[in-house]
Amino acid sequence: MNRKIIPLILMFSIVSLASPALAKEPNVRTQTETRKVEAQTRKASSTDARAEMQRGLAKRKAANTSRVLTATVERLERIIVRLESRIEKVKADGGVTATSTAYVVEARNHLSLTKASIALFASVDLSGDKAKENFERVRDIASEAKGHIREAHRSLTKAIRALGGERSATSTPED
């Protein structure tokens, strides 16, 4: 009988010690599931944060591009003012300025188109989740504005060349 009691006691003690471990196993499963749900939540929130950061970056890029293009247009307008002053001097001296004036009008037209393109930066939709799409939108508007700026520059260059044959007008009085 003594031999039967000892294994029974050992068996009972092993079962009693193992039962808390078995009872914890479902709890471990719920903890694992909880961790998975938390990881998915973190991943979703980080994805949203990344998309928001990319939208902010695209907005800053659009604002910077708009600022640079606006500064370029202002520089070209100052050149036009100086060129028109030069045209008036040549005209006052009896020179022919019809072609130069036509090129200046053409340049002003291109600059007005550039200003319209730059105004699109304020209304561009940068709400897309993909940064590539947002940057493509900014790039398309910027390339259109750059094309108009190039044409305005070409027109101003032609106006200066057309006016270049008349060297009698100077900005400083001759002695």
According to the model, what pLDDT value does residue 157 have? 94
Q: Rounded mean pLDDT of 9-38?
A: 67
Q: Which helix (H) or strand (E) is 26 found in, with range?
A: helix 2-92
Whether pTM > 0.85 for this model: the answer is no
pLDDT at 3 over 90: no
Q: How far apart are CA 7 and CA 11, in angstroms?
A: 6
79-109 pLDDT tens trace: 999 999 999 999 998 888 899 999 999 999 9
Higher pLDDT, 51 or 80: 80
In 3D space, the residue among 86, 108, 111 whose CA is nearest the CA of residue 163 turns out to be 86
pLDDT at 145 over 80: yes
Q: Which two tokens stand for residue 49?
A: 């944060």
170 pLDDT band, cuts 50/70/90, is low
**Range ranked top by mean pLDDT from 22-26, 37-41, 133-137, 166-170:** 133-137
- Is 166 within 8 Å of 95 (Cβ atoms)? yes
Question: What is the topology classification, in CATH, of domain 51-163?
Answer: Butyryl-CoA Dehydrogenase, subunit A; domain 3 (1.20.140)
Q: Which two tokens stand for residue 69?
A: 């293009």
166 pLDDT band, cuts 50/70/90, is very low
Higher pLDDT, 126 or 136: 136
Q: How far apart are CA 142 and CA 114, in angstroms?
A: 9
pLDDT at 55 over 70: yes
